[in-house]
Chain A
Amino acid sequence: MSPLRRVLPHVVVLAVFAVLLWFLPGTIRALFGQASVSYVTLVTNAASLAILALSWDLLARTGQVSLAHAAFFGAGAYSTALLSRFADVPLWLGIPLGGVVAGLIALALGPVTLRLHGIYFAIATLSFTEVLRAVVHQLPSRIAGGAPGLNVPALFRPTFVAGEMERWEVAFIRNEGYFLIYAAVLVFTLLLSIIIQRTRLRYAFTAVRTNQEVAAVMGVNPARTKLLAFVLSSVPVGLLGAVAAHRFGSVNPFETFSIHTTVLALVTPIFGGLYTTVGPLLGATVLAGIEETLRRSLDSGYMIAYGVVLVFAVLFMPRGLVGLLGKLFRRRREAAK
Chain B
Amino acid sequence: MSLLDVSGLSKQFGGLTAVAGMNFTVTGGEILAIIGPNGAGKTTMLNLLSGLLQPTAGSIRLNGTDLAGKLPDVRCHLGLGRAFQVVQPFPEMTVAENVNVGALFGQPGTTAVEAEALTRDALMTSGLWHLRDTPAEDLTLMQEKRLEIARALATRPLILLLDEVMAGLRPGEAREAIDLVRRIRDTGVTVIFIEHVMPVVKDLADRVIVMDYGRMIAEGSYAEVTANPAVIEAYLGTDEEGEDAL
Contact, CB under 8 Å: B52 / A219? no
Residue A203 CB within 8 A of the other chain: yes
Using Cβ atoms and an 8 Å threshold, which residues of chain A touch B51? 216-217
Q: A213-B72, A216-B71, A216-B72 are in contact. Are A203 and B101 (CB under 8 A)?
A: yes
Measured CB to CB, the closest approach of chain B to A185, in angstroms, equals: 29
* Surface stretch bound by A, among B12-20, B88-96, B164-172, B182-190: B88-96
Residue A293 CB within 8 A of the other chain: no
Q: A2-B112, A217-B50, A218-B102 are in contact. Are A211 and B90 (CB under 8 A)?
A: yes
Contact, CB under 8 Å: A221 / B71? yes
Contact, CB under 8 Å: A221 / B73? yes
Contact, CB under 8 Å: A217 / B105? no
Measured CB to CB, the closest approach of chain A to B15, in angstroms, equals: 25
Most buried by A among B51, B72, B102: B72
Contact, CB under 8 Å: B71 / A200? no
Contact, CB under 8 Å: B71 / A1? no
Using Cβ atoms and an 8 Å threshold, which residues of chain A touch B146? none
Q: A220: which of B91, B92, B93, B101 is its contact (CB, 8 Å)?
A: B101
Measured CA separation A203–B102 after assembly (Å): 10
Most buried by A among B52, B100, B105, B107: B105
**B window 76-110: CB within 8 A of A:** 76-77, 80-82, 84, 88, 90-93, 97, 100-102, 104-108
Interface size of B as a range: 35 or more
Using Cβ atoms and an 8 Å threshold, which residues of chain A touch B107? 219
Residue A204 CB within 8 A of the other chain: yes
Using Cβ atoms and an 8 Å threshold, which residues of chain B touch A2? 111-113
Using Cβ atoms and an 8 Å threshold, which residues of chain A touch B97? 203
Contact, CB under 8 Å: A206 / B93? yes
Residue B126 CB within 8 A of the other chain: no
Residue A207 CB within 8 A of the other chain: yes
Q: Interface size of A by Cβ–Cβ distance < 8 Å?
A: 22
Using Cβ atoms and an 8 Å threshold, which residues of chain A touch B112? 1-3, 6, 199-200
Using Cβ atoms and an 8 Å threshold, which residues of chain B touch A218? 73, 76, 101-102, 105-106, 151-152, 155
Measured CA separation A204–B234 after assembly (Å): 43
Contact, CB under 8 Å: B88 / A219? no
Measured CA separation A240–B112 after assembly (Å): 33
Using Cβ atoms and an 8 Å threshold, which residues of chain A touch B50? 217
Contact, CB under 8 Å: A217 / B76? yes
**A window 185-232: CB within 8 A of B:** 199-200, 203-204, 206-207, 210-211, 213-222
Q: B101: which of A1, A3, A199, A215 is its contact (CB, 8 Å)?
A: A215
Measured CA separation A325–B116 after assembly (Å): 31
* CB-CB nearest in chain A for B98: A207
Q: B73: which of A6, A203, A220 is its contact (CB, 8 Å)?
A: A220
* CB-CB nearest in chain A for B151: A218
Measured CA separation A25–B135 after assembly (Å): 43
**B window 95-148: CB within 8 A of A:** 97, 100-102, 104-108, 111-113, 115-116
Measured CA separation A203–B100 after assembly (Å): 8
Using Cβ atoms and an 8 Å threshold, which residues of chain B touch A6? 112
Q: A216: which of B73, B100, B108 is its contact (CB, 8 Å)?
A: B73
* CB-CB nearest in chain A for B80: A217
Contact, CB under 8 Å: B105 / A214? no
Contact, CB under 8 Å: A1 / B116? yes
Q: B104: which of A203, A213, A217, A221 is its contact (CB, 8 Å)?
A: A203
Q: A1-B116, A2-B112, A3-B112 are in contact. Are A219 and B76 (CB under 8 A)?
A: yes
Using Cβ atoms and an 8 Å threshold, which residues of chain B touch A199? 112
Measured CB to CB, the closest approach of chain B to A38, in angstroms, equals: 41
Contact, CB under 8 Å: A219 / B113? no
Measured CA separation A46–B32 after assembly (Å): 61
Contact, CB under 8 Å: B76 / A210? no
Measured CB to CB, the closest approach of chain A to B33, in angstroms, equals: 20
Q: A207: which of B101, B111, B152 is its contact (CB, 8 Å)?
A: B101
Measured CA separation A200–B81 after assembly (Å): 20
Using Cβ atoms and an 8 Å threshold, which residues of chain B touch A200? 104-105, 112, 115
* CB-CB nearest in chain B for A223: B71
Using Cβ atoms and an 8 Å threshold, which residues of chain A touch B72? 213, 216-217
Contact, CB under 8 Å: A219 / B91? no
* CB-CB nearest in chain A for B74: A221
Contact, CB under 8 Å: A207 / B90? yes
Using Cβ atoms and an 8 Å threshold, which residues of chain A touch B71? 216, 221
Measured CA separation A1–B105 after assembly (Å): 17
Q: A203-B97, A206-B92 are in contact. Are A219 and B116 (CB under 8 A)?
A: no
**B window 49-75: CB within 8 A of A:** 50-52, 71-73, 75
Measured CA separation A200–B152 after assembly (Å): 17
Measured CA separation A217–B105 after assembly (Å): 10
Q: A206-B90, A218-B76, A219-B73 are in contact. Are A213 and B52 (CB under 8 A)?
A: yes
Q: Could you jot down 9 A-B contacts, CB within 8 Å?
A: A1-B112, A199-B112, A204-B104, A210-B91, A216-B51, A216-B72, A219-B76, A219-B107, A221-B71
7 nearest CB pairs, A to B: A219-B105, A216-B72, A219-B76, A219-B106, A217-B82, A218-B102, A221-B73
Given pairs A213-B72, A216-B52, 13 additional interface contacts (CB within 8 A): A1-B113, A203-B100, A203-B104, A207-B90, A210-B91, A214-B84, A216-B76, A218-B73, A218-B106, A219-B73, A219-B77, A219-B108, A220-B73
